[in-house]
Chain A
């Protein structure tokens, strides 16, 4: 237990340092993006037919401040706020804290990606075992080819393909946002049903595009384990097939948990194209809008959130690994 606690403490300390480093880097990168959020808003108003004076006044009223401090002052302000989990106020949505914007967007990203990833993991791992065991037969070939094929198609191509097929040619599924606006948001059957219906295509996209990687990874992992001596040893000791199968599965799935944890960490940032295509108001779409609006605070916040997610996923993967692999648990070198 103390080993785990010590490990966790070390990870948290390192993770914190990493987050601060990333916050610094993203702050300066974002600040160096050409353009100015207030100028952008001003131009928008002028383009909309407002007189320059009125537009300048409107911008001033809208934000209530003019950034006058030096870059260094802005940086220390930002980092100081960060320590209180204050990510600043959104520029494109005046008055709304970045944290609230992120939270609102995150719920549209996390659930579909989580479901899609876990679904593909489950299906991919199970079919990967068959692909390995039947690797000399037609079934094994078919599974491996299906894996390579889906692994090779870019996610956004797959998404557009699904939209074309299931929303246009055979219009049985919606592809226009997260929910039908006709329904009253809340815990009622119509609203939840509409949510689920709208989630089908994005979830299927995530699942299909990740499936290939799982099948191929699991296949190669199982093939490796099948060649291990202890599997033959178990068979020569007359172990039941079901027990030998469990030995194979548990040893083969081990390295895949690491990949799973890492891909769950990346899921927050990986959904940009898909959310754009399905018009899903998640973190990806929010990031695109943030970039368009020169919303410095929002961009920095989004980058930071993605970083934190990856770091947390790493820590979880490591701790999880140490509970399922005794060689890691004891902190000794694997024999």
Chain B
């Protein structure tokens, strides 16, 4: 136990030191430049406390998580079956891959006008933007997963003469699952990344809205930075949650050895 604790300290200590240094530097710079707009770390902490106290923080977090959750879930439901199909059927890949390769590099921000045109200003627009941003990496990963199934496994399945259903359920899907989880990790990361941009479209809730509104309503940069820090912390937790999936019994084989 003692060994474990010291190992943990060894792992965490360097980044903790660097973070402390950066916060101190930030503080010193604000103090020495006598900035009236840019807040000190303490002011940001107080702003967070203010958000917690007046209860608005949970509403913003909830709204953002709901939009990201919905957009991401739709993207998962769309990308995984499509990716499996494109990976398995050569014709589907040849037809659809060029289209996705053109759509993929377009920044989700470029879709904002179209999102407003199609869905107006409500929850649907940001959900659509989150969907658009996370769907492509998941399609790409799933297709790559199918394409990299080792031939010896497919041959063994062929040798035992199993049905198509068994082939998919017991060989293809388990073989691709680790790649799908990588895709989901990337997809969720991107989804959370664009939540701020997505919530710029006039809405009255969400962490993105909090940031834009705090700047517009009286240059409250302490709230702006508080919002940024909260987004960072939640992003970290979401990634941590996705990492937990990598330890699942069904995909552990991929990471063993």
On whether the two chains bind one another, the answer is no
User: Which A residues are closer than 8 A to B by beta carbons?
Assistant: none
